[in-house]
A and B are shown apart, each in its own frame.
Chain A
Amino acid sequence: DQQVKQNSPSLSVQEGRISILNCDYTNSMFDYFLWYKKYPAEGPTFLISISSIKDKNEDGRFTVFLNKSAKHLSLHIVPSQPGDSAVYFCAAISYTSGTYKYIFGTGTRLKVLA
């Protein structure tokens, strides 16, 4: 039961170009989404989030777009830098029985080529 899906396990992009990471979800009750970045041997670190009442949130080089009708969100990184090379996880928050649960996708490994 994979409620949050990241169908691209890996992505390579040239430095300076745009990186687009995609995420699909199945539960229309999800109302908050987050992106995390993970370097090897480290825990995931929060990158950017978006509430379902918005369709876009921007923070510097990072922009997250949400298309609720398609149950799809994407993370854009412009311009991409070699330091952005990491695994990116999409997560959705589910609220059930008084508890917030974070459901993660399988991750996309981004490699930014210098």
Chain B
Amino acid sequence: EPEVTQTPSHQVTQMGQEVILRCVPISNHLYFYWYRQILGQKVEFLVSFYNNEISEKSEIFDDQFSVERPDGSNFTLKIRSTKLEDSAMYFCASKEGVTNEKLFFGSGTQLSVL
């Protein structure tokens, strides 16, 4: 079965550093999402992306965050200047079309900010 792939699986960074989390969505999918889960808490929506632009973003997704689909296959989440509270598991997800509700998740990138 096709799958969403995320790299790296773990990322450790110093506070204030920039990180880029990478995702390769399923190839025929058109809608892309980033979610995160802080340890012991719920899975939180960050941003959705369609047709090369952000369609919605949450309050968490402030100016330090950005997303990009640089080459038609990768979908990246950049955090410009990481904070301790950005430590979380970040999940990329994609779905095929607007009426297809099934969202496919990658296995996540565990980000640790020291």
Identify the A interface with B (CB < 8 A): 2, 32, 34, 36, 41-46, 49, 89, 93, 96-107
With beta carbons under 8 angstroms apart, the residue of B31, B101, B105 that contacts A45 is B105
By the criterion CB–CB under 8 Å, are A34 and B42 in contact?
no
By the criterion CB–CB under 8 Å, are B45 and A102 in contact?
yes
By the criterion CB–CB under 8 Å, are A41 and B107 in contact?
yes
Interface centre among A42, A43, A46 (most CB of B within 10 A): A43
Q: Which residues of A contact B4 (CB under 8 A)?
A: 43
8 nearest A-B residue pairs (beta carbon) = A43-B105, A104-B43, A106-B42, A99-B56, A43-B107, A99-B55, A44-B105, A42-B107
By the criterion CB–CB under 8 Å, are B91 and A44 in contact?
yes
Give the size range of B's interface with the partner: 20 to 34
By the criterion CB–CB under 8 Å, are B108 and A43 in contact?
yes
Closest to A36 in B: B105
Identify the B interface with A (CB < 8 A): 4, 6, 9, 31, 33, 35, 41-45, 48, 50, 55-56, 91, 93, 98, 101-108
Q: Which residues of B contact A41 (CB under 8 A)?
A: 9, 107-108
Task: Give Cα A96 to B104, complex, Å.
Answer: 21
Q: List 15 A-B contacts (CB under 8 A).
A: A41-B9, A43-B91, A44-B43, A44-B91, A44-B105, A49-B102, A89-B42, A97-B56, A99-B56, A101-B45, A102-B33, A102-B45, A102-B103, A106-B41, A107-B43
By the criterion CB–CB under 8 Å, are A104 and B107 in contact?
no
Q: Taking A43-B4, A43-B91 as contacts, is the C-beta distance between A104 and B105 under 8 angstroms? A: no
A31 shortest CB reach to chain B, Å: 10
By the criterion CB–CB under 8 Å, are B107 and A46 in contact?
no
Closest to B105 in A: A43
By the criterion CB–CB under 8 Å, are B104 and A103 in contact?
no
Q: Which residues of A contact B50 (CB under 8 A)?
A: 99
By the criterion CB–CB under 8 Å, are B56 and A101 in contact?
yes
